[in-house]
Amino acid sequence: MIVSIETPVFKGRMLQRLIDSVLHQSSPHWHYSLLWDGGDEESRRILEELEREKNPQVTIYFAENRGIARARRFLSEHSQGEWILPVDDDDVLPFHAVERFLEVAAERPWASVIRAQRKMIDEQGKVLDAAPWFPFEPRHYQQGMVTDLMNHTHPYLMKRSAYQRTTGWEGFEDFGFAGEDCDIYIKLEEVGTIELFDETLYYYRIHNNRASLVLTEHGAYEMWRRLADKAIARIGLPLKRASERPPFTYEPLPRAEPTVAMLDVVIAADDISRTQGGVERLSAAFRAAGIPAAAIQVASRNVHAVNQAMQQGARPLVCLVDAAIRPEAVTGLGAILRSMHENGSDLAAPRLVGEDGTAVWANPRFEENKRPVSAASRQNAASGGDQDRTTDAAWVNEKFMITRREVIRAVGGLDEGFDDLRGALVDFSLRARQRRFRCSYVGGVAVASSGADRDPDALGAAALERLRAKWAEYPDLFA
């Protein structure tokens, strides 16, 4: 793996110290790209001297001033490393920054952003005894939306494949195209996870000419407000910002009661399901319920195919259903949707039963070892009790579930690093609950399957290992 270290250059007074800190990294797995963004003469002279050295690991560009966001966009579009490390022209990297970042990246392949700690230094490079300006902790959410947008600082290592799923670096023209860092952080969080690494891998220089002083506190708050409003609109959340300073609070907006006509449908099938006619029977049942054929997709029963299908379409709700589910299940859609509306649910799944009437999936929870289990265990589907209730759910299963589209947009769909759909749907549920979306089990609706798992708690070893590693720092989600 290669880290693309990227620096838009405007000031030259402390630039050489940064360049030296990059050139002397303990790891050789980096490439350094610098863009002279119409800066001062000293910075241009330093870059011209560096260019004459013809270091194969260094690429230098010269252009007229275009603003910080557009400069960063140019660099990221012209570099190739699997990871991107933005660095400002007056800061410094410790000698082992690349090495340590790559070690963490290998351990946490699901991350879209890896954020480490930083320390403040003065103009001479002396470490200052200064408290952090922003918290170093997981982000906080309200109904899917980030509240503490200011909870973000250098250094942050970005996965290029995640960056390419966003609209890239963008800033505000009236602020010199600043605001690009918080903006990209929010967008990366919508396609993957943010991982915290509690080690100092960046030195932030305090001096009287730093860009944050030009922006002013008033400008920072205005940008955070705009970024929050943009994210709400981008995801499609039924929220309105209700405060002027972060951590923001949001007012829920009324939304229409969901109906079957609002559904996109994804049928997950294998070759046997297709040849035996299960797909066509299920598709016909959905069409008879009022869902047009154009809103029904059939995907192979694997994580990548299902993920791609779930992210297509534009209807407010997505129903994922296994081809083995009996067509009569479609008659329960109205009851599930009413339950979602009445309980404010964002994801929901009904009780799953086998052809012999035994319960296959009900009351999902986690064991102490973080293994996802359900309370079904072959109990009779007509036994009543807790199985018939509607309750908050720890996770939804891959056989039949409904989710609001804003959940998919907020969490980036399924994590394709999982090797089976069960693991991916459990992870999807955790990502949704982390962002304070509500997940429900609708026990009053029983859905029958002609080929349901006889082991309702089956989860592959690789999927379970990834699940435990990915969510090790969030024990509250498993309570």
Range of the structural domain that residue 420 is part of: 260-478
Sort 351 into a burial class: Cβ within 10 Å, 0-12 / 13-18 / 19+.
Answer: buried
Q: Using the 3D structure, point to which of 178, 195, 215 is the last residue of a domain.
A: 215
Q: Using the 3D structure, point to which of 215, 249, 277 is the last residue of a domain.
A: 215
- Which residues are 158's β-sheet partners? 84, 113
Write the DSSP symbol of residue 473.
Answer: T
- Which residues are 31's β-sheet partners? 4
Residue with more model confidence, 463 or 457: 463
Look at residue 47 in the predicted model and tell me its pLDDT: 97
pTM for this predicted structure: 0.93
Asked if residue 199 has pLDDT above 50, the reply is: yes
The secondary structure element, H or E, covering residue 281 is helix 278-288
Look at residue 273 in the predicted model and tell me its pLDDT: 65
pLDDT in tens, 27-77: 999 999 999 998 899 999 999 999 999 999 999 999 988 899 999 999 999
Report CA dihedral (120, 205, 215, 48) to the nearest 10 degrees. Answer: -160
Which segments of 160-270 are extended strands (E)?
Answer: 193-205, 239-241, 250-252, 263-269
Q: Within this chain, do residues 144 and 84 fall inside the same structural domain, yes or no?
A: yes
Look at residue 174 in the predicted model and tell me its pLDDT: 87
* 239 occurs within a structural domain: no
Q: How far apart are CA 195 and CA 304, in angstroms?
A: 23
* 254 occurs within a structural domain: no
Token pair belonging to 18: 């940064």
Q: Within this chain, do residues 391 and 307 fall inside the same structural domain, yes or no?
A: yes
Q: What is the mean pLDDT of residues 420-436?
A: 96
Q: What is the mean pLDDT of residues 318-345?
A: 95
Q: How far apart are CA 246 and CA 218, in angstroms?
A: 13
Strands 250-252 and 239-241: antiparallel
Measured in whole angstroms, how far is the alpha carbon of residue 356 from the centre of its chain? 40
* 411 occurs within a structural domain: yes
Q: Within this chain, do residues 183 and 308 fall inside the same structural domain, yes or no?
A: no
Look at residue 382 in the predicted model and tell me its pLDDT: 44
Q: How far apart are CA 185 and CA 148, in angstroms?
A: 12
**Residue type for position 467:** L
Look at residue 418 in the predicted model and tell me its pLDDT: 95
Q: Residue 472 in contact with residue 430, Cβ under 8 Å?
A: no
Q: Residue 439 in contact with residue 344, Cβ under 8 Å?
A: no
Q: Within this chain, do residues 192 and 304 fall inside the same structural domain, yes or no?
A: no
Sort 333 into a burial class: Cβ within 10 Å, 0-12 / 13-18 / 19+.
Answer: buried
pLDDT in tens, 128-180: 988 888 889 999 999 999 999 999 999 999 999 999 999 999 999 888 888 99
* 327 occurs within a structural domain: yes
* 232 occurs within a structural domain: no
Q: Within this chain, do residues 206 and 275 fall inside the same structural domain, yes or no?
A: no
Residue with more model confidence, 216 or 429: 429
Asked if residue 275 has pLDDT above 90, the reply is: no
3-state helix, strand, coil in the chain (%, to 5): 35, 25, 40
Q: Within this chain, do residues 211 and 275 fall inside the same structural domain, yes or no?
A: no
Q: Within this chain, do residues 289 and 433 fall inside the same structural domain, yes or no?
A: yes
Backbone angles phi, psi at 372, to 5 degrees: -75, 130
Q: Using the 3D structure, point to which of 215, 246, 269 is the last residue of a domain.
A: 215
Which segments of 38-168 are extended strands (E)?
Answer: 58-63, 83-86, 111-121, 141-142, 145-146, 156-159
Report CA dihedral (300, 305, 306, 312) to the nearest 10 degrees. Answer: -120
Residue with more model confidence, 457 or 85: 85
Q: How far apart are CA 376 and CA 399, in angstroms?
A: 15
**Residue 244: other Cβ atoms inside 10 A:** 10
* 253 occurs within a structural domain: no
Q: Which residues contact 465 (CB under 8 A, 6 or more apart)?
A: none
- Which residues are 351's β-sheet partners? 446
Measured in whole angstroms, how far is the alpha carbon of residue 46 from the centre of its chain? 39
- Cα–Cα distances in angstroms (integers) from residue 272 to residues 65, 326, 329, 401, 452, in the given order: 60, 15, 20, 22, 14
* 357 occurs within a structural domain: yes
**Residue type for position 104:** V
Q: Within this chain, do residues 211 and 280 fall inside the same structural domain, yes or no?
A: no
* 12 occurs within a structural domain: yes
Domain count, the chain: 2
Task: Say which CATH number the domain at 310 has.
Answer: 3.90.550.60
Q: Within this chain, do residues 23 and 84 fall inside the same structural domain, yes or no?
A: yes
Q: Within this chain, do residues 295 and 423 fall inside the same structural domain, yes or no?
A: yes
Q: What's the alpha-carbon Rg for the chain, to the nearest Å?
A: 25
Q: How far apart are CA 421 and CA 415, in angstroms?
A: 10
pLDDT in tens, 342-392: 999 999 999 999 888 788 899 999 998 899 998 764 444 444 457 888 999
Q: How far apart are CA 44 and CA 454, in angstroms?
A: 69
3-state secondary structure of 62: strand
Q: Within this chain, do residues 89 and 179 fall inside the same structural domain, yes or no?
A: yes
- What is the overall mean pLDDT for the chain? 92
Asked if residue 215 has pLDDT above 90, the reply is: no
Task: Say which CATH number the domain at 184 has.
Answer: 3.90.550.10
Asked if residue 257 has pLDDT above 60, the reply is: yes
Q: Within this chain, do residues 294 and 204 fall inside the same structural domain, yes or no?
A: no
